[in-house]
A and B are shown apart, each in its own frame.
Chain A
């Protein structure tokens, strides 16, 4: 249970890191928080011949307000810093709600926002929050930069739009329109375990309390963040009622998620959880949106 040998680099700038990546490409792994990568290396599931440690690049650690009422987060910002940030709580409440659900405090002290998103574990909270919040990903490689929206960034299990020479540098989280509500709900066997199922809800209402837009994104019931656009569509133009919420939850749980089941939960139980959590999350988010 020890890593295989590798060449180690600890660049101090983004440019240096990109240059090293360019040289090593497919043989290299980027080390961010290490809370998923190092276990894999300890088990020798992964044996990169080159490790590029990003932890000395201070320039990637920031939480900055953006002009649209949202935020720009440097990819190496620690999850614990995001969790404690008043700016995040105020501008991206969905992200603020997701943070304490991630693993344990000790993990969040090293884990980074960019690392978790780049890893794209289907059971992870941050990818689901990113899709639900319409985040976008700023990716740099030698001589160029591009921005990818969340629903294009996540491409499958542990698979993203990041190529072997790409470095994720920033994640942008838009501000929310007025009269918006958010909820992130999940159920795990023990506090801090991977959730058996979870859902992130974002919705906006008009002055009459009618839903204008809604987003439902599920955790651990597919090969990545799993959206339920048909259930969301059922809500648009409607006022809140428990019947409507139950119908939308039934629709999402029955037709729009694809749970595989695992050691802790059968697919049927995951569907059941998804249905229950959708009702709770929709009620919480709608109540919040309409109350403003």
Chain B
């Protein structure tokens, strides 16, 4: 086995410190070391978007990052969205109301992609939403209800 490297990072506001092999992918680190299995692994080459998390506020592919690279950084995963199971994030609530998921495998990655998008685009047009989601593949929904959910989440309150 190779020498282990220290990684100390913040995930959803909580600090974690572990010793890992350098080849351990961030996606696997989150799921296996930290038991945060909300982040899903689809293709492991960056095209499906299921593994998308926020690194220092920016959506990135966790399957294309080594865990050691996240040392000293702040991550947000889908587990960081809801305050509690009874208190969903407005985006989650909108997906619930508009049937924006079926199997849910792509959903976490879509959520993490949408968070900064909605922060930057308060009233997105449908084509802007579809473009923003072009890096996330969904096998179940045909995307229409996902778009509906985003429009619903972004509606003026």
Could you say which residues of chain A place their CB within 8 Å of the CB of B63? 38, 42
Could you say which residues of chain B place their CB within 8 Å of the CB of A106? 46, 49, 52, 59-61, 113, 135
Contact A192-B135, Cβ < 8 Å, known A106-B49, A110-B65: yes
Could you say which residues of chain A place their CB within 8 Å of the CB of B64? 34-35, 38-39, 42, 110
Could you say which residues of chain A place their CB within 8 Å of the CB of B69? 10, 34, 53, 55
Task: Kindly identify which residue among A3, A51, A109, A192 contacts B134, using a CB–CB cutoff of 8 Å.
Answer: A192
Contact A2-B28, Cβ < 8 Å, known A34-B64, A35-B46: yes
B135 touches A8 (CB 8 A): no
For the complex, what is the distance from the CA of A41 to the CA of B68, rounded to whole Å?
16
Is A269 on the interface with B (CB-CB < 8 A)? no
Contact A6-B2, Cβ < 8 Å, known A34-B65, A192-B134: yes
Q: How many residues of B contact A (CB 8 A)?
A: 31
Could you say which residues of chain B place their CB within 8 Å of the CB of A260? none
Residues of B within 8 A of A (CB): 1-3, 5, 21-23, 25, 28, 44-46, 49, 52, 55, 58-61, 63-66, 68-69, 113, 130-132, 134-135
Given contacts A10-B68, A107-B61, A191-B131, 19 further A-B contacts (CB under 8 A): A1-B44, A2-B25, A3-B25, A5-B1, A6-B22, A7-B3, A7-B22, A34-B64, A35-B46, A35-B64, A39-B64, A41-B23, A42-B44, A104-B134, A107-B135, A109-B55, A109-B58, A110-B60, A110-B65
Residues of A within 8 A of B (CB): 1-8, 10, 34-35, 38-39, 41-43, 51, 53, 55, 80, 103-107, 109-110, 190-192
